[in-house]
Amino acid sequence: MSQVVSHTDARSTFAKSSDTSRAGWRLGWIIGCHAVVDFFSFLFVPLITVIEGRLALTHEQGALLIAVGAICSGLIQPATAWICDRYNTRLPGVVGLFCAGLAALLIGRVDTFQQILLLQVVSSAGVGAFHPVAAAATGKLGGSRRSLALSGFYMSGMLGGMSGNILFPMWVGHAGAGDSAVGLRSLAWAMLGAIVFTVVMQLAIGRIDHRRVRRAGDVPHPAIPHRWRSVWLLYAGNAVRFTVNSSMVLLVARWTEFEVLARAGASDLSDPLRTRAAMMNGPLQASMQLGAGAAAMLAGAFIAHRHERIALGLSPLLGAAAIAVFPFTRGIGSESTSVILASIASIIVGIGSGSLVPMTIGMAQRLLPDHTSLASGLMLGGAWTLAAIGPLLTQAAVGAFGFITACVIVAAVTGASGLLAIGIRVPEDGHAVAPGAPAPDPVPGMPLMSPRSE
């Protein structure tokens, strides 16, 4: 009898080990696919000066192009997340990865502002559709180390974005040999990578069930309003973070234009100067992502649940200080010195404004444990949608008040966002515990915008 039990235990142990191994591989591939998606998502940003010159766009049209990317990427995420939770499908995330690659395939073929705007809509919507699905799968596969898994997911996206910011301008510059049109058309080869990783994504995520069976007592009635108040405060905080991020994307691009014009003693941006600005813009954008991604990994590994609110309150102050200093890094010493100083400031901006995003996703998933795609979609795309106003308002501020004043305004908004953390209450173990409230009989379902629990 003992031998039978022993064999049964051995088989059970082997099965659990095999399941753990498969989960680890799936988690790794999903995180890798996130890098690919974000690689393509940063096609327009570092090349915005080149695109403006190629299609004879105004600065306002360039800012609108960036803003439309934020709108489309953000708007689709809550809707995609709700569909995935409601119908238990992961297909939108897989299709989204494929659509993200279309930007590289077609960017060299567009000739008008309307055409590139449509391309931005399709590709950024694909990027948006990927994120809530992949983030929910990452949280599920991460298990008890959800925060660390989500931080790895976030860092992977940052690395992918950094690669796009650096490699796309280099690719266009070298392949075009001074002709930006030829360089942009050569980007079509990158679509092959999008096709390969679309297949990988389907194999990694297709059979993962994101649903969670509700247990008695999971959501005591008095805790429900408390949960949604905290969700909306987390949402508001991320909306500010992403708006600051999109504003800094625009400010960094304009910084490089001012820098190359001043160094060249020119009044207008020629095609070579635009390419030079793009080569400078990419690494600076990547610096912000480096700061956000590296700090996110540290935050996921070392910040305990009980310290999350403190971190959310203090980190914006660091970002605000770096943004206020950023305009003064221009024109110091040689061009390399200015770029290095601007890169350091950009890294700190990333730490202060973006490093705690994965933490907020984990907090929202703990608040809505049976709707993790919805929670992820709200914290990512739902908040990112509002960030579309960042480039437009920032470009208007630069035109009306000057570059330095625009940076000060963005810094002030960043610092003030930390106040939102005061009202956040998140359970540490995933169960609802309203401060000071008893736990009466549980009620089924979640109110407001939550889909019906199956």
Query: Which pLDDT does position 208 carry in this prediction?
Result: 62
pLDDT for 454 equals 30
In a domain, 212, yes or no: no
Mean pLDDT of successive 10-residue stretches along the chain, which has 454 residues: 51 51 82 94 89 91 89 83 78 90 91 94 92 84 76 86 89 83 91 93 73 48 68 92 92 94 89 88 89 85 85 94 96 92 95 88 82 77 80 93 96 94 73 40 31 32
CATH of the domain at 203: 1.20.1250.20
What is the model's pLDDT at position 88? 75
Query: How far are the Cα atoms of 103, 180, 240, 397, 445 from residue 60, in angstroms, in the given order?
Result: 21, 21, 22, 12, 46
List Cβ neighbours of 347 (8 Å cut-off, separation of 6 or more).
287, 288, 290, 291
Helix (H, G, I), strand (E, B) or coil at 220: strand
Residue pair 401/81 in contact (Cβ under 8 Å)? The answer is: no
Query: What is the structure's pLDDT at 355?
Result: 86
Burial of 14 (0-12, 13-18, 19+ CB in 10 A): exposed
What CA–CA distance (Å, rounded) separates 438 from 435? 9
Question: Has residue 284 been placed in a domain?
Answer: yes
Residue 333 lies in a domain: yes
Output the pLDDT for position 223.
Answer: 54
Give the residue from 133, 128, 127, 126 showing the smallest Cα distance to 90.
Answer: 133
Q: What is the pLDDT of residue 453?
A: 33
The pLDDT score that the predictor gives to residue 137 is 84
Tell me whether residue 445 is in a domain. no
CA dist., res. 392 & res. 398, Å (int): 10
Residue 384 covered by a domain: yes
Q: How many CA atoms lie within 13 A of 237 on its CB side?
A: 33
CA pseudo-torsion sign 56, 57, 58, 63: negative
Structural domain includes residue 415: yes
Which pLDDT score, from 0 to 100, does residue 20 have? 63
Q: Which of 295, 265, 294, 261 is nearest to 280 (CA)?
A: 261
Count structural domains, the chain: 1
pLDDT at position 222? 44
Q: Is residue 368 part of a domain?
A: yes
240 vs 243: CA distance, rounded Å: 5
Residue partners of 353: CB distance under 8 A and separation at least 6: 241, 244, 245, 248, 292, 315, 316, 319, 414
pLDDT of residue 79: 82
Q: What pLDDT is attached to residue 144?
A: 67
CA–CA gap between residue 381 and residue 372 (Å, rounded): 14
Q: Is the pTM of this model over 0.75?
A: no
Tokens of 128: 């948006």
Establish if 27 belongs to a structural domain.
Answer: yes
Give the Cα separation of 84 and 37 in Å (integer).
19
DSSP 201: H
- What region, left, alpha or beta, does residue 368 occupy, with left being phi > 0 and alpha being psi -120 to 50 degrees? beta
Q: What does the pLDDT read at residue 440?
A: 34
How buried is 454 (Cβ within 10 angstroms: 0-12 exposed, 13-18 middle, 19+ buried)?
exposed
* The two structure tokens encoding residue 441: 């009989």
436's tokens: 């000071």
> Range of 415's domain?
20-207+218-423
DSSP 378: I
Considering only CA atoms, give the Rg of the chain.
Answer: 23
Q: What is residue 374's DSSP assignment?
A: H
